[in-house]
Amino acid sequence: MYLDLKNNKDYTKLIEPAQIIKNGGLVIFPTETVYGIGANGLDKNAIKKIYEAKQRPLNKPISLLVSNIDMIESVAKDITDIEYAIIKKFFPGPLTIILKKKGIIPDILTAGSDTIGIRMPANDIALNLINYAGVPLATPSANLSGKPSGTNLKDIIKDFDGNVDCFIDDGPSKIGLASTIVKVVDGVPHILRQGSISIDEINSVIN
């Protein structure tokens, strides 16, 4: 299935891809950073399909995309005031925060770790898709493992045609750079991957 939403922002068209996700399928969709390949983040069989489609090693964890704070609290626990402050300032946006995971999260998603990366994308297609699906989406970037992150759907389709159930087109990615990943350790934020948000911006929120 191919869905062109570049010029037509009729978000009700996302009900069908959301149903694909509910049924355990894979959907490639835009975020403001890069395109993502998403599945139901609570369904271990669907998550396994992501690893297979991307040819991704199982020891590399996958983050979750969410659409609201309630969804974060359904999958993460012991969230500190500093972590809430970062979430409040930078969500939705190009930031992934590492939080302690709840037992509802399949181990395959986190490579056996007790933490989970969580992001709320600043892209209305992504947010509406997550809302319609009603579950957080396991979503790495839409590229074969080792290749650059996908920012243009034409190139992505070549790599994934036949391995995913739906492609959603929103034109080229706005930022084109993967999100900053931050982890708070003993009250101090640490950058695990640099994106468009800097450690100085993060520190300015909590100081």
Average pLDDT over residues 26-53: 97
Under the banding of pLDDT at 50, 70 and 90, the label for residue 109 is very high
Antiparallel, parallel or unpaired: β 76-77 and 137-138: unpaired
Q: Please determine, for residue 83, whether its predicted confidence score (pLDDT) is greater than 90.
A: yes
Long-range contacts of 126-130 (CB under 8 A, 24+ apart): 126/29, 126/30, 126/31, 126/36, 126/65, 127/67, 127/92, 128/11, 128/14, 129/14, 129/17, 129/18, 129/21, 129/27, 129/29, 129/38, 129/168, 130/65, 130/66, 130/67, 130/71
Under the banding of pLDDT at 50, 70 and 90, the label for residue 197 is very high
Q: What tens digit of pLDDT does each residue of 180-189 get?
A: 999 999 999 9
Average pLDDT over residues 107-115: 95
Residue scoring higher pLDDT (147 or 18)? 18
Residue 8: its pLDDT value, please?
A: 86
Q: What's the rounded Cα separation, in Å, for the pair 50 and 56? A: 8
Q: Please determine, for residue 179, whether its predicted confidence score (pLDDT) is greater than 90.
A: yes
Q: Please determine, for residue 207, whether its predicted confidence score (pLDDT) is greater than 80.
A: no
Q: What tens digit of pLDDT does each residue of 117-161 get?
A: 999 999 999 999 999 999 999 999 999 999 988 888 988 999 999
Residue 190: its pLDDT value, please?
A: 97
Residue 184: its pLDDT value, please?
A: 97
Average pLDDT over residues 47-75: 97
Average pLDDT over residues 32-41: 96
